[in-house]
Amino acid sequence: MKGGERREAIIAAAIRLFSEKGFRGATTRELAASLDVTEPVIYQHFETKRDLYRAIIESKARERRLENDHWQNVENPRGDREFFGAVARLMIERVEGDPSYLRLLLFSALEGHELADLFFERDAVDYYGRVCSYIGKRVAEGAFRDDIDPAIASRALMGMAVHHALVQALFHDTVVTASSEVYATQMVEIFIAGLARG
């Protein structure tokens, strides 16, 4: 296996292992065993466990950057329902489509891992910025209430979407049994009603 391929294989195996056992619970010995290599092979590519954590974050950040095409489609002036609906669906799909990354985010936060802030910065800040900017623009245009803080509204929108996806991923949800599509559509209607001028 070439160096680049080996490095990517280590990252992929680390994502699986750390998402199952957490950052503190997993060892490089277990990681090496899962790849059928020795620990020194791991350290040829990553000097420390922290370097490996950072590589995981960078790998996931690259995947997220591929979503820019999605944002180009979302950020055209088709309407508020289309914009907020696309954001809600993307948030739900990301959690549902990549449960290992969700687990990594949760482990990093719960363990007080030093890279938890980097996870948040790379994963969430850009999304908040885009949604906040859109809401701020619509407030300035007079479409939404002017007493709305765009940052708080952004948190509310993304929170509704991510909370639903988390409940679906972690529990047997008997409260909301509608599909994610139906949930996203109705959630956006509730959200827009809260922003609308009275």
pLDDT at residue number 64: 67
Please tell me the least confidently modeled range out of 15-24, 60-69, 87-96.
60-69
Smallest CA-to-CA distance from 170 within 103, 94, 87 is with 103
pLDDT at residue number 198: 67
**Nearest-5° angle of CA 142, CA 88, CA 121?**
95
Model confidence at 87: pLDDT above 80: yes
Is residue 7 within 8 Å of 45, Cβ to Cβ?
yes
Percent of the chain residues past pLDDT 90, beyond the cut: 40
**For the segment 91-148, what is each residue's pLDDT rounded down to a tens digit?**
888 888 888 877 888 887 888 777 777 777 777 787 888 899 999 999 999 999 999 9
Q: Which domains does the chain have, with CATH numbers?
A: 3-59 (1.10.10.60), 67-195 (1.10.357)
pLDDT at residue number 120: 75
pLDDT at residue number 73: 60
Where does 26-178 have alpha helices with state H? 28-35, 39-45, 49-65, 68-74, 80-97, 99-110, 116-123, 125-140, 150-170
The residues pairing with 196 across neighbouring beta strands, listed in sequence order, are 144
Is residue 96 within 8 Å of 173, Cβ to Cβ?
no
pLDDT at residue number 94: 83
Output 190 or 119, whichever has higher pLDDT: 190
pTM comes to 0.78
